[in-house]
């Protein structure tokens, strides 16, 4: 452990030095290293000095980059996988440092430079891998990049967008690639070993129905509540249970800064918990019946709670009840603040949705339309739209300004118990008594995906703060985690946009018998230039891709229709719906010579 902390504190100081580097020099260095076949980039200034007349400024940049690279090489950043839990705080500090400093535009190109150096200098593979992981986590635009021959090891590239990138000759070892977008990428002669793709993850620990799930604002923890059970805090990255907080729970909610957790209980009380210590900090009593819903205001100073037919608004500074909001005649199962904290929405088994003025406690509007109890309401991130899920099997979208219904979404065969917007507001998730979860396109109102895997009601759904994961709790006592991009990709066939293909015509019964309707098709290349050999009129590109559970050598191929005059190469990813395991098949279109 002492070795892992040896160079722990000076990484930001090292990165700060790149502010003095002319980023245009990176491309020149890479080209020179390749041309001169120099494998040790730390020594390159000495080896190229006699072969090139450099200006003082260029020479200064060379020396500075060599110095920075040497410091990085000797740092833990080049020794350990910074995606591991022990380095999570350090990784967050680096991201915050980059985002806060004016030199962020300098550090990002430097990270890209480190990634490219992995193709040349094997001693810098881990720092290049950590750099690419950070670029992906920060959602830096990596499309149309040349990453030829890079080496990436012991890292995570979950959700990476490598659209139209050149990854030919790349070597991946022990890398997580869930949700990676390779549409239009070149992948010739790749050697990818022990790749990891997240399957459906289940968190088991509750012995009663999981009534509520909620992500912490930083996305590192998941809280879950169950009747007659303790609250469970889970490490989202590892799936391990971190803590338990004891109480009879119906609902859980994190404060906006992630330091507090509120829970509603059947004992008519609301409890506030210190997330770090797990200790109870406060108890609020004011409901006559069970508390079914709790929700923090965006500023963290107010808490709303919904009970049998009442709503209470609490001042967290004083610990006192700020307002009693009465109007519903039956159970209130869900409350939600608007993004500015001015309006509170509530639903009820009396079939209505109501909007309240938080400051005065007075009703601002009543939204009618559902013909059965409403069990969930959520504002969109911009609070212009309110979504509601009802026992009448419908989801409705309401225009908050006009108080009018915008759209209805039908598809569930039984009542909807929970709805939740994705952080970008483009997708709505719904959980139902029909045991399914559905993802809806908010703009078009069309269903994007349907998730099965539970044999009982879906009671609560929640997106992670970055929108990549959907968690849901069920009456089968379990919590499940789905990779949202992987799920949506099942319903995007083909991903390639420039033209569609009639695959049955191209491939006949061979293709039809091997793959099902849940398929992702990625255009790899239209003009392959790498070494190839011809066999029975087929174009075969040599390469290797290995999964920990599936090995494929020298890429499988299928006979295409002899009448087709195409030389496109397609990667077909067959996604088994239940096990969520990827199988890789490479389809080589016929080429006439």
Q: What is the DSSP string of 144-182?
A: T-B-TT-EEEEEE-TT-B-TT-B-TT-EEEEEE-TT-B-
The pLDDT tens digits of the residues spanning 348-394 come to 999 999 999 999 999 999 999 999 999 999 999 999 999 999 999 99
In which band, very low, low, confident or very high, does the pLDDT at 55 lie, cut at 50, 70 and 90?
A: low
Specify the higher pLDDT residue, 395 or 517. Answer: 395
pLDDT of residue 449: 84
DSSP 351-380: S-EEEEETTT--EEEEE---SS-EEEEEE-
The pLDDT tens digits of the residues spanning 318-339 come to 888 888 888 899 999 999 999 9
Q: Is the pTM of this model over 0.75?
A: no
The pLDDT tens digits of the residues spanning 121-147 come to 899 999 999 999 999 888 888 999 999
Separation CA 521–CA 573 (nearest Å): 6
Over range 469-495, report the average pLDDT.
72
Over range 397-424, report the average pLDDT.
94
Over range 90-100, report the average pLDDT.
81
pLDDT of residue 535: 26
pLDDT of residue 451: 77
Q: Is the pLDDT of residue 497 over 50?
A: no
Q: Is the pLDDT of residue 252 over 80?
A: yes
DSSP reduced 3-state for 16:
helix
Say which range, 99-103, 213-217, 440-444, has the weakest mean pLDDT. 99-103
The pLDDT tens digits of the residues spanning 140-199 come to 889 999 999 999 999 988 778 888 889 988 999 988 886 677 777 787 888 888 877 655
pLDDT of residue 425: 95
Q: Is the pLDDT of residue 549 over 50?
A: no
Kind and range of the H or E run holding 504: helix 503-514
The pLDDT tens digits of the residues spanning 479-491 come to 888 878 766 654 4
Q: Is the pLDDT of residue 565 over 90?
A: no
Percentage of residues in the chain having pLDDT higher than 70: 74
Computed over every residue of the chain, the mean pLDDT equals 77
- 541 and 524 Cβ atoms separated by less than 8 Å: no
**In terms of residues, how long is the chain?**
593
pLDDT of residue 539: 29
The pLDDT tens digits of the residues spanning 8-29 come to 447 888 888 888 888 888 888 8
β strands within 514-568, DSSP E: 519-525, 532-535, 538-541, 544-547, 550-553
CB pairs under 8 A, 24+ apart, for 33-42?
Answer: 33/117, 33/120, 33/121, 34/120, 38/120, 39/120, 39/121, 39/122, 40/121, 40/123, 41/66, 41/69, 41/117, 41/120, 41/121, 41/124, 42/66, 42/69, 42/70, 42/73, 42/121
In which band, very low, low, confident or very high, does the pLDDT at 44 lie, cut at 50, 70 and 90?
A: low
Q: Is the pLDDT of residue 271 over 80?
A: yes
Q: Is the pLDDT of residue 1 over 80?
A: no
Nearest residue to 428 via CA among 385, 492, 370: 385
Over range 512-532, report the average pLDDT.
33
pLDDT of residue 506: 38
Separation CA 430–CA 414 (nearest Å): 12
Q: Is the pLDDT of residue 554 over 60?
A: no
In which band, very low, low, confident or very high, does the pLDDT at 47 lie, cut at 50, 70 and 90?
A: low
Over range 530-536, report the average pLDDT.
30
- 200 and 480 Cβ atoms separated by less than 8 Å: yes
CB atoms within 10 A of CB 2: 5
CA dist list (Å): 555 to 139, 216, 542, 586 = 31, 42, 7, 6
Separation CA 36–CA 411 (nearest Å): 62
Separation CA 98–CA 12 (nearest Å): 9
pLDDT of residue 421: 97
Q: Is the pLDDT of residue 97 over 80?
A: yes
């Amino acid at each position: 452990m002492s070795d892992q902390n040896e160079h722990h504190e000076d990484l930001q100081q090292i990165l700060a030095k790149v502010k003095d580097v002319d980023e245009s020099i990176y491309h020149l260095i890479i080209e020179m290293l390749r041309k001169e076949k120099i494998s040790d980039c730390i020594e390159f200034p000495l080896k190229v000095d006699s072969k090139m007349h450099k200006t003082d400024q260029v020479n200064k940049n060379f020396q500075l980059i060599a110095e920075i690279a040497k410091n990085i090489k000797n740092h833990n950043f080049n020794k350990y996988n910074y995606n591991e839990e022990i380095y999570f705080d350090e990784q967050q500090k680096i991201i915050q440092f980059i985002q806060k400093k004016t030199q962020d535009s300098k550090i990002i190109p430097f990270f890209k430079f480190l990634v490219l150096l992995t193709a040349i200098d094997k001693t810098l593979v881990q720092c290049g891998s950590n750099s690419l992981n950070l670029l992906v986590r920060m959602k830096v635009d990596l499309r149309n990049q040349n990453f030829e021959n890079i080496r990436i090891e012991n890292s995570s590239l979950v959700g990476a967008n490598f659209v139209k990138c050149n990854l030919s000759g790349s070597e991946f070892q022990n890398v997580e690639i869930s949700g990676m977008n390779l549409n239009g990428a070149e992948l010739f002669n790749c050697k990818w070993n022990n790749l990891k793709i997240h399957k459906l993850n289940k968190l088991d620990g509750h012995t009663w129905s999981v009534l509520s799930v909620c992500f912490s604002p930083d996305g590192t923890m998941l809280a879950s509540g169950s009747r007659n059970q303790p609250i469970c805090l889970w490490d989202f990255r590892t799936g391990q249970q971190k803590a338990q907080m004891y109480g009879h729970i119906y609902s859980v909610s994190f404060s906006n800064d992630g330091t507090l957790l509120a829970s509603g209980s059947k004992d008519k009380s609301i409890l506030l918990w210190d997330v770090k210590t797990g200790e109870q900090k406060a108890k609020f009593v004011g409901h006559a019946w069970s508390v079914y819903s709790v929700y923090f205001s965006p500023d963290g100073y107010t808490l709303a709670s919904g009970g049998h037919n009442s709503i209470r608004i609490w001042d967290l500074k004083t610990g006192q009840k700020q307002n009693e909001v009465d109007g519903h005649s039956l159970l209130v199962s869900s409350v939600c603040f608007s993004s500015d904290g001015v309006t509170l929405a509530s639903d009820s088994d009396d079939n209505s949705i109501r909007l309240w003025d938080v400051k005065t406690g007075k009703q601002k509007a009543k939204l009618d339309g559902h013909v059965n109890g409403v069990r969930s309401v959520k504002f969109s991130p911009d609070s212009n739209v309110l979504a509601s899920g009802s026992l009448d099997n419908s989801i409705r979208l309401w225009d908050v300004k006009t108080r009018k219904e915008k759209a209805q979404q039908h598809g569930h065969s039984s009542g909807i118990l929970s709805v939740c917007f994705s952080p970008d507001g483009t997708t709505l998730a719904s959980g139902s008594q029909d045991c399914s979860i559905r993802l809806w396109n908010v703009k078009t109102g069309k269903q994007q995906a349907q998730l099965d895997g539970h044999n009982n009601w879906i009671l609560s759904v929640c997106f992670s703060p970055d929108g990549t994961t959907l968690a849901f709790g069920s009456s089968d006592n379990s919590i499940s985690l789905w990779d949202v991009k992987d799920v949506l990709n099942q319903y995007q066939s083909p991903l390639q946009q420039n033209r569609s293909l009639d695959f049955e015509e191209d491939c006949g019964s061979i293709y039809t018998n091997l793959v099902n309707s849940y398929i992702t098709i990625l255009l790899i290349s239209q003009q392959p230039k790498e070494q190839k050999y011809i066999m029975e009129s087929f174009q075969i590109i040599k390469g290797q891709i290995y999964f920990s559970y599936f090995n494929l050598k020298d890429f499988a191929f299928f006979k295409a229709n002899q009448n087709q005059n195409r030389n496109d190469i397609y990667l077909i990813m067959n996604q088994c719906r239940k096990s969520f395991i990827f199988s890789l098949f490479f389809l080589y279109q016929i080429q006439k010579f």
